[in-house]
Chain A
Amino acid sequence: DIVMTQSPDSLAVSLGERATINCKSSQSVLYSSNNKNYLAWYQQKLGQPPRLLIYWASTRESGVPDRFSGSESGTDFTLTISSLQAEDAAVYYCQQYYSTPITFGQGTRLEI
Chain B
Amino acid sequence: VQLVESGGGLVQPGGSLRLSCAASGFTFSDHHMEWVRQAPGKGLEWVGRSGDKGNSYTTEYAASVKGRFTISRDDSKNLLYLQMNSLKSEDTAVYYCSRGIWEWGQGTLVTVSS
Contacts and interface: CB of A to CB of B under 8 A. Distances in A.
Contacts of B45: 104
Contact of A93 (B34, B43, B60, B102): B43
Given A40-B101, A52-B101, A104 B106 contact: no
B43 to A, nearest CB: 5
Contact of B106 (A49, A95, A107): A49
Given A49-B96, A93-B43, A106-B43, A100 B60 contact: yes
Interface residues of B, number: 18
A106 B60 CA distance: 22
Nearest to A103: B46
A55 interface: yes
Contacts of B96: 49-50
Interface residues of A, number: 20
Contacts, number: 42
A93 to B, nearest CB: 6
B62 A101 contact: yes
Contacts of A48: 106
A15 interface: no
B43 A102 contact: no
13 contacts: A48-B106, A49-B96, A50-B104, A51-B104, A52-B102, A52-B103, A93-B44, A97-B100, A100-B46, A101-B62, A106-B43, A107-B43, A107-B44
Given A49-B105, A102-B49, 16 more contacts: A42-B44, A44-B44, A49-B104, A49-B106, A50-B96, A51-B104, A52-B103, A55-B101, A100-B46, A100-B49, A101-B46, A101-B60, A101-B63, A102-B34, A104-B43, A105-B43
